[in-house]
Structure 1
Amino acid sequence: MPQATPPCDLVTVPTQQGLEAVDILRLRTGVGPVLHDDAGDGIGFLVPQGTADGWDLPGSSCTRSNGRGFSIGAEPSVAGSGWLVPPDSGPGRITATDPAVLRAALGEAARTIRLAGGV
């Protein structure tokens, strides 16, 4: 029987910042499942349910799951999206990105982009 995954909220950021943050997280602590929108406008990080209650990072938004949660499965539950970092069903999998770690990575990503002459 497959193990149930906890419900998640969704932090969305502009694509460039999101991709940079994914790289930072992969090199350090690991990253949970990440969505990209098919239009290429944004990246979405699955975070534990309840994160939206205290999320206030400028340039990003956090969508509440309202008790339903975004499902982590083979196909994303968000219309018009696909997995950039798919869920891992193996042992020790990360089902959601830690919000504090994500906040730090997004801040570092924004500084890196700014220093490189990006937006």
Structure 2
Amino acid sequence: MLDEPWDLVTVPSRQGLEAVDILRMRTGLGPVLHDSSGDSLGFLVPPGTADGWDLPGSACTQTAGGGFTVPGELWEPPGAGTGWLVPPRNDTAVTDPAVLRDALGEAARMIELADRL
């Protein structure tokens, strides 16, 4: 359910798309936002994640009050200029931050390797 508060991990689109593919194959993937320019993706994570997030190349935004609530019935993206890459579902409210960190690290390594070829 997406009626719980959440924080937002933002990454460049290329790395984020790779991470989405990795997470889809392995574990529960929560909702993912994209910006209208296509420059970045935002993964919804549990509130409080921003307090300890320190992955280079990404940012974690603590939303107002330690989390931003989106009712489960609301399928519209929460901000202007955003859309759902992975819309909210009842089975996975947010992405686990440790799992996301691992997927983003793997994605960065894959991109680095591809750029060397």
TM-score by length of 2: 0.91
**Residues 39-68 of structure 1: CA deviation (Å, up to 9, x unaligned):** 000000000000000000000000101215
Give the deviation of 1:4 after TM superposition. Answer: 6.4
- Please list, as runs of the form range in 1=range in 2, the aligned pairs for 1:31-110 lying within 5 A after superposition: 31-67=29-65, 68-71=67-70, 73-89=74-90, 93-110=91-108
> Residues of 1 paired with 2:60 and 2:81: CA distance?
18
Gaps of 5+ in 2: none
CA gap 1:4/1:39 in 2 versus in 1, 3 angstroms: closer
Q: Which amino acid aligns with 2:87?
A: P
> Residues of 2 paired with 1:5 and 1:45: CA distance?
16
Give the deviation of 1:71 after TM superposition. Answer: 2.0
Q: CA RMSD in A?
A: 1.5
Q: Which has the higher helix share?
A: 2
Q: Work out which structure has the larger RCO, using CA pairs closer than 8 Å and 6 or more positions apart in sequence.
A: 2
TM-score by length of 1: 0.89
Identity over aligned residues, as a percent?
A: 65
- What residue in structure 1 maps to residue 13 of structure 2? 15
Partner SS for 2:94: coil
Query: Hey, which bits of structure 1, 4+ residues long, moved more than 3 A?
Result: none
Say how many residue pairs are matched: 113
> Residues of 2 paired with 1:70 and 1:59: CA distance?
26
> Residues of 2 paired with 1:70 and 1:83: CA distance?
16
Gaps of 5+ in 1: none
